Amino acid sequence: MICYNCKKEIEDTDNYCRFCGAGQGSHIAWYYKIWGVWILLFLIGPFCLWFLYKSPYKNKPVKIINAVLITALSVWFCYKLYVAIKTFNELLNSLISGTFF
């Protein structure tokens, strides 16, 4: 068996790589699992794509679909944040100029 992290050969019975310490099989860290990447999306935003990329799962279509969804959600969130800041700025300017009332 080959370690997904350091690419060195390890025993089939190893749960962790004896060279780099990365978990193997069902012992991988939670942030490399698909559900963990989605949790990270709400914690660190689009930077979670790095964890999706480094994930040991070999199913490329699942990774691609998740990457597209995460990117689309990040773009949508940035757009909504832009609209909210723009609206707040207009409200603040109208309050300062006295045209609000």
3-57: per-residue pLDDT in tens? 888 889 988 888 888 888 888 878 888 888 889 999 999 999 999 999 999 888 7
In a domain, 38, yes or no: yes
Give residue for tokens 């990329």.
Answer: 53
Give the per-residue pLDDT at 54: 87
**Contact, 20 vs 5, CB < 8 A?**
yes
Range of the domain at 71: 33-97
User: Does any domain span residue 54?
Assistant: yes
Percent of residues in the chain assigned helix, strand, coil, to nearest 5: 65, 5, 30
Total domain count, the chain? 1
**Residues contacting residue 73 through CB under 8 Å, at least 6 positions apart:** 41
| Per-residue pLDDT tens over the stretch 44-101 | 999 999 999 988 877 889 999 999 999 999 999 999 999 999 999 999 998 888 776 6
Residue 4, domain member (yes or no):
no
Establish if 92 belongs to a structural domain. Answer: yes
Between CA 27 and CA 35 the distance in angstroms is 15
Residue 72 lies in a domain: yes
